[in-house]
Structure 1
Amino acid sequence: MHFKLPISETLQALLQQEDTDADNKITIEDKGPKHFKLKCVRGNIYEVKGTYHLSNLLQELALERQLGKTTAEIPVEKIEELPSYRISRMIRDYFWNDLTRTIDKKGLHRILGDEKIQDTIQRIYVPEKDLEGIKYYKALKKELPALEIQILPEQITPTYVKSINKKPGLLALALQDGSGVPFVVPGGRFNEMYGWDSYFESVGLLIDNRLDLAMAMADNFAYQIRYYGKILNANRSYFLTRTQPPFFSSLLKEIYQYDPEVSKDWMSRNLKMVIKEYEKVWMQKGVRLTETGLNRFLGEGIGIPPETEEGHFNFVLQRFAKKHGLSLEAFIQAYDGGTLKDPELDAYFMHDRSLRESGHDTSNRLDDICANLNTVGLNSLLYKYEMDIAYLIENIFNDSLEGYNSAFWLDKANKRKALVNKYLWNDKEGSFYDYNFVSKEPHLVDSATNFYPLWAGLCNEEQAGKLVSKLFDRLVQNGGVAGTSNITEIEHNAPQRQWDYPNGWAPHQMVIWRGLQSYGYEREAQELVYRWLWMITKNAVNYNGTIPEKYDVVGCTHKVYAEYGNVGTQFDYITSSGFGWMNASYQLGLSILNKEFRMQLDQLVNPDDIFSKQT
């Protein structure tokens, strides 16, 4: 059964009746009658009932209108589509394409205009050694005279980056055959390629058979290492001194496991860049390699990070303004202008940039301390780098690449494991904890990143058992794993941080699910997958298909307002892209979830009604 509907008239009537809060969506907060009559092609009347089915009708009409149609033929199967199947289909068929960008003539109109940047000039920075890029963009400027091309020097220092903060712009990425190599952006206001987002998005891309895009992400990672010296926080000029959690080796390994016939030359080029990143970014003594032999995040820079929203640091800066006897405005002008020096505040911003480099922007767990920590998460990722490089060299290159063999990298991994157990494992608590190498004591905060050793394969079976017990005791909530436990030992009236309790994030869930599976904790993995997918599905059913950046896993709601709001909640009629790693987590979760739980998911059965007796 299907309907042949005049799009404009049907949309107008549907919204007038059901969208009582006039936000161009149909949600559980609307007070309409929750039923709408349609005339079928054969003339009989069909009644669409309930928020979910009504919002599906709205979305299907919007999709048809986007195609330039005035009349839509909509099958009832799409209106009554089971929630998990609909969400997964939208991700696969629509969202990835809408999130894909290129930095070339075809794609620039979508990416240069950035609501986060006050400077209205369309500016691209190109590395001076990227001769192909310079030639391409200079030629493009002849067609787009408003485009400003800036050439980046080979040596990029914090002083230089601060000097261009008032002239922000996009950083060039890879070109191939006269076109930009594509990449997937997170969504919403984010129009650039982010470091660790790109890995997690690629997990979803591979599940949806988009090997092309996953390989393109790897090529852009390699370009960044070659020309910017690191995989960037994101390809914007103000991120030039900052990297993000290292996942490049994982991306290459998963591409190889997806397609063992992938070009050996392609893999060689990219694996060499992984090794270069490992050696030049992470293993430089006194920078990100500390005296313990373990690593830290260290985001370099000078002054106040310019990418934050206005007023973001006022809670901290008020204290320093008072210390110097200045108004807040006068203090900011003097400090950022360099006429007033304050080493204590310099240290604060070093830690702040470092926590942003960790991807956790921001968290009270890392605030004003991050650069002093050998973190569990980072050292687990670097252990996995060492193991992945060994695996790829052995399996693809007959155990020899550029003078390296697998034994060399396995030795590094074993040495790191010993140090992790020495400094980060707490047998009394039954958990890994970040280690403060300055105060020489553990940083006893329960965090989702403390469970990365499960994913990296770093812990033994006994440790794994204790970690699983700790995970369910401290972090598992109704909607999944919280970023941290409920941190109460924070400064009075400090702002709520988005990476802390009660919020949960897609990358944490994905890493923990796979970690549980790798140690044989299949039932626990099924439960955590179900809790997360149930929360996403419930919110999408109730709120017109909304799949935003973050969720409160305690309240099981997307209504999260800590820091920057919630990207992906503002749209008319239909979300066109969801949010990058949220989409990936949904596809990965469905690939893990068994058939029985998938059926219960589509019925929105509360996870506590399923798992309370089992756990």
Structure 2
Amino acid sequence: MNLYQVEMDSKTFVDRPLKADPEAVLREFKNEFGKTKVTNITARKLIDFRKRFFGEPGTELTSCFIPDWKELPPKIAQIKDKDLRLFALFLNRRWKDLCRQVRNETLLFKEAIIRGHTSIRIKIIKIEDPRRNSLIEVPHPFIVPGGRFREFYYWDAYWIVKGVYFRFGFVPNGGRIYYLRRSQPPFLIPMVYEYYEATEDIKFVRENFDHLVREYEFWVQKRSVKVEDKNGNKHIAYQYRTTSNVPRPESFRADIQAALEIGENERQKFFQNIASAAESGWVFSSRWFRDRKTMKTIETTNVLPVDLNALLCWNVNILKYFANIIGNAQKAEEFEKKGRDAWKTLNAIFYNDTGKAWFDYNLRTKSHEVLFYPTVAMPLFTGCYTMLDYDKSAKVINFMNRLHVFDYPSGIPASLSNTGQQWDFPNGWPPLQHIIIEGMRKSDNPEAQEMAFKLARKWILANYKIYNTTKKMWEKVDVNGTIPKPGAGGEYDVQDGFGWTNGAILDLLVTYRDRMTIRGTDQTVRCYISKRYVYAAHFTIECM
């Protein structure tokens, strides 16, 4: 189906539910096409077959009710600027549009065997024959990013990942079975930390501590590598390295087309590097390309990403904190040591004295690529530097200033390389803006803190313009120009929704609720469209 491009997007086909059991559909497919050469099959016949045996993507899900959703959350009510408060209310209402749950659910109990010896009874969902769709079934409602991303994703929601972990021993990339051979950046432990900070639910931490430890151990056991620093000291570092060496089902045609330029003996490694880049979330970026330009030189498995290593450093520090508050002194001591080791690794392997910042490390060249990516600020975001490094936040800012990355009118680009890939220039991504802003805000450097506010204001106003003109929230934007356009490039059209866009902006609006304002800005910011009223949520604002 995807080879003949019967769908504009390969993901559409693998998301379609079957109308009959898999055996019956396969039998009918063999009857109709089994004796026909692939080159003689027509797209028209494939489309007819699809219509008979496949349903519409997303029909196995339904919208849902969020029981604790509030029309006016207290923290949003505290936003002083009226226009931004209305903007926040609009974003808050979008969670209702993005809530999904599996249809026709029947709760069952299933024995989940963890590591071959721990038996845990968990709730799962049965939808007719679960083999009729590609969903990873979960018993509770969840938030989807939006657009083509119809299922949950690791980056976007933590309240569903516990049940998924019981079955698979790690948190997969997303809520489809074709994601089971890769994960995504390990944010589960920080998510639980955010939950605990908001609720002080120590019982939840105590009940889930062992599962959080096992999530961390997945990365230690499956994604770690030994590396020597310039002094010959050995360190444990981490990389994105999936076992998959075939085209991604959700991007089958794109991967096949990309592999045409690759020698047959090298294609399995090529596909592994593609899948490993997908595990990083950066699909795709010049970060992973040997020549910094073209997909055919992708070498993800040669790269030690600084952001992944800083994130896992944060993971162990949180686990140490959790071990202390639940009274597990042995684990607290263990993670204390792991935290020290992780800090040493970040500074010995990833810090570059010339660039004065942290950079990805290449195993092939045994060196850094001293190029700008927002990941240079990741150790600031995760707090994986000590008071002895207090000047490093200033040095990171100086590095970015020298490259003029703060000069773009609508945010910070994902890189300075215009490759046509979506995680490169000129696209600005919400999580990357948030990481840089929060990293600088949490530092002890007043200059960094002030820069964080300016960047937050720039990003909020850029998205406010988009909201006023289109009533959409894009997954990424073009940071060029004072009137932001949707981001472009990559394998699919820009998506509206959008989970992490809304979440990052809401967090910044609440963080700067006493200070952030659009008053005094150019009139085009407040009332960009040439109409008498701009609609925000269910309110109106008169344009003066």
TM-score with structure 2 setting the length: 0.71
Aligned counterpart, 2:439: 515
**Aligned equivalents of 2:161, 2:520: Cα separation in 1:** 36
Alignment partners' CA distance in 2, 1:393 and 1:269: 12
Q: Is contact 1:549–1:566 with CA below 8 Å preserved after alignment?
A: yes
Tell me, yes or no, if structure 1 residue 317 matches structure 2 residue 255. Answer: no
Matched residues in 1 for 2:226 and 2:276: separation? 14
What is aligned with 2:136?
Answer: 171
Q: Give, as a single letter, the amino acid of the residue that structure 1 aligns with 2:493.
A: G
Query: How far apart in 2 are the matches of 1:131 and 1:343?
Result: 45
Structure 1 equivalent of residue 231 of structure 2: none
Deviations 1:63-110 (A, max 9, x none): xxxxxxxxxxxxxxxxxx964233211222x211221122352699xx
Residue number in structure 2 paired with 1:64: none
Structure 1 counterpart of 2:278, from 356, 372, 378:
356
Give the structure 2 partner of residue 227 of structure 1. 167
User: What is the alpha-carbon distance in structure 2 between the residues aligned to residue 416 and residue 552 of structure 1?
Assistant: 35
Which residue of the partner structure matches residue 308 of structure 1? 251
SS of 1:101's equivalent in the other structure is strand
Counterpart contact for 1:299–1:356, Cα < 8 Å:
no
- The one-letter code of the counterpart of 2:90 is M
Q: Among residues 114, 130, 137, which one is paired with 1:149 in the alignment? A: 130
The answer to whether the 8 Å contact 1:538/1:604 transfers is no
Q: Quick one: which of 236, 259, 268 aligns to 2:206?
A: 268
Map Cα deviations across residues 296-334 of structure 1 (whole Å, 9 max, x no partner): 0112213111111644552x33323xx5xxxxxxxxxxx
Of residues 431, 437, 450, the one that matches 2:363 is 437
- Report the Cα distance in structure 2 between the residues aligned to 1:365 and 1:601, rounded to whole angstroms: 39
Change (3 A) 1:414 1:278: same
Distance 1:583 1:428 in 2: 37
Q: Out of 161, 173, 195, which is 2:154 matched to? A: 195
Structure 1 residue aligned with 2:512: 593
Say which SS state the counterpart of residue 519 (structure 1) adopts: coil
String of CA shifts for 1:10-48, please: whole Å, max 9, x gaps.
Answer: xxxxxxxxxxxxxxxxxxxxxxxxxxxxxxxxxxxxxxx
2-structure distance, mates of 1:579, 1:465: 32
1:478 to 394, 397, 409: 409
Residue correspondence of structure 1 range 379-418 to structure 2 within 5 A: 379-395=309-325, 397-400=326-329, 403-405=330-332, 407-418=333-344
Q: Are the aligned partners of 1:433 and 1:443 in contact in 2 as well (CA < 8 Å)?
A: yes
Find out whether 1:294 has 2:293 as its counterpart. no
CA distance in 1 between partners of 2:417 and 2:441 (Å): 28
Alignment of 1:76-115 (within 5 A): 83-92=83-92, 94-105=93-104
**Alpha-carbon distance, 1:540 to partner:** 1.4
Indicate conservation of the 8 Å contact 1:481/1:509, yes or no.
yes
Tell me, in whole angstroms, the C-alpha distance in 2 between the residues paired with 1:548 and 1:437.
Answer: 35
Task: Name the stretch that deviates more: 355-364 or 442-451.
Answer: 442-451
1:127–1:227 contact (8 Å) kept in structure 2: no
CA 1:228–1:583 in structure 2 vs 1: closer, same or farther (change >3 Å)? same
Conserved 8 A contact 1:447-1:483 = yes
Query: Retained in 2: the 8 A contact 1:83–1:541?
Result: no
Any idea what the Cα deviations from partners look like across 1:190-221, whole Å, max 9, x if unmatched?
Answer: 111101133xxxxxxxxxxxxxxxxxx33x22
Give 1:60-75 correspondences, 5 Å limit: none
2:348 aligns to what SS in structure 1? helix
Evaluate the alpha carbon distance shift between residue 601 and residue 133 of structure 1 in structure 2; reply closer, same or farther with a 3 A threshold: farther
How does 1:205-224 map onto structure 2 within 5 Å?
A: 217-218=158-159, 220-224=160-164
- 1:583 and 1:127 map into 2 onto residues whose CA distance is 37
Distance 2:179 2:334 in 1: 33
Q: Distance in 2 between matches of 1:82 and 1:542?
A: 18
2:187 counterpart letter in structure 1: F
CA distance in 2, matches of 1:471, 1:270: 39
Contact 2:474 2:486 in 1 (8 A): no
Shift, 1:265, TM fit: 3.2
CA contact (8 A) 1:184 1:193 kept: yes
- Of 83-92 and 357-366, more deviation after overlay is shown by 83-92
Please point out which of 201, 208, 216 is paired with 1:278.
Answer: 216
The 1-side partners of 2:521 and 2:164 are apart by 42
Distance in 2 separating the partners of 1:90 and 1:602: 21
Q: Which amino acid aligns with 1:88?
A: A
Equivalent position amino acid for 2:508 in 1: G
2:368, 2:95 → 1: CA distance? 41
> 2:381 — aligned with what?
455
Correspondent of 1:580 among 499, 505, 509: 499
Change (3 A) 1:149 1:235: same
- Give the Cα–Cα distance (whole angstroms) in 2 for the partners of residues 131 and 265 of structure 1: 19
Aligned residues with identical type, % of pairs: 23
8 Å CA contact retained: 1:362, 1:498? yes
Aligned length: 413
Q: What amino acid does structure 2 have at the position aligned with 1:363?
A: S
1:539-583 CA-partner distances (Å, limit 9, x unpaired): 21122x121111011235233331211111xxxxxxxxx310111
Deviation track 1:124-177 (CA, whole Å, cap 9, x = no partner) reads xx997587556x51xx52xxxxxx324xxxxxxxxxxxxxxxx8610122xxxx
The DSSP-based 3-state class of the residue aligned with 1:365 is helix
In structure 2, distance between residues paired with 1:346 and 1:383: 31
1:496 to 420, 437, 440: 420
Instruction: Give the superposition deviation at 1:252.
Output: 1.3
User: How many angstroms does 1:432 deviate by?
Assistant: 0.8
1:473 Cα offset (Å): 3.5
Q: Name the SS for the 1:273 alignment partner.
A: helix
User: Alpha carbons of 1:238 and 1:461: their partners in 2 closer, same or farther (altered >3 Å)?
Assistant: same
Aligned-partner SS, 1:499: coil
The whole-number CA distance in structure 2 between the counterparts of 1:425 and 1:435 is 9
Q: Structure 1 residues 312, 438: CA separation in 2 closer, same or farther (over 3 Å shift)?
A: closer
Over 3 Å counting, the alpha-carbon distance change for 1:600 and 1:518 in structure 2 is same
Residue 438 of structure 1, CA deviation: 2.9
- The AA in structure 1 aligned to 2:147 is G
CA contact (8 A) 2:99 2:141 kept: yes
Q: Distance in 1 between matches of 2:323 and 2:254?
A: 49
Quote the Cα distance in structure 2 between the aligned partners of 1:133 and 1:249.
22
- Output the aligned Cα RMSD: 2.7
Tell me if 1:566 matches 2:494.
yes
* C-alpha separation in 2, matches of 1:259 and 1:394: 17
Q: Select the residue among 469, 473, 482 that pairs with 2:398.
A: 469
The one-letter code of the counterpart of 1:465 is A
Q: In the alignment, is residue 542 of structure 1 matched against residue 482 of structure 2?
A: no
Could you tell me which residue of structure 2 aligns to residue 255 of structure 1? Answer: 195
Matched with 1:186 is: 145
Deviation at 1:597, TM superposition (A): 3.9
Cα distance in structure 1, aligned partners of 2:188 and 2:122 = 24
Looking at structure 1, the residues matched to 511 and 392 of structure 2 have their Cα atoms a distance apart, in angstroms, of 24
8 Å contact from structure 2 (residues 122, 163) kept in 1: no
- State the distance in 2 between where 1:273 and 1:99 align: 27
Query: Which one-letter code corresponds to 1:288 in the other structure?
Result: S
> Are the aligned partners of 1:100 and 1:184 in contact in 2 as well (CA < 8 Å)?
yes
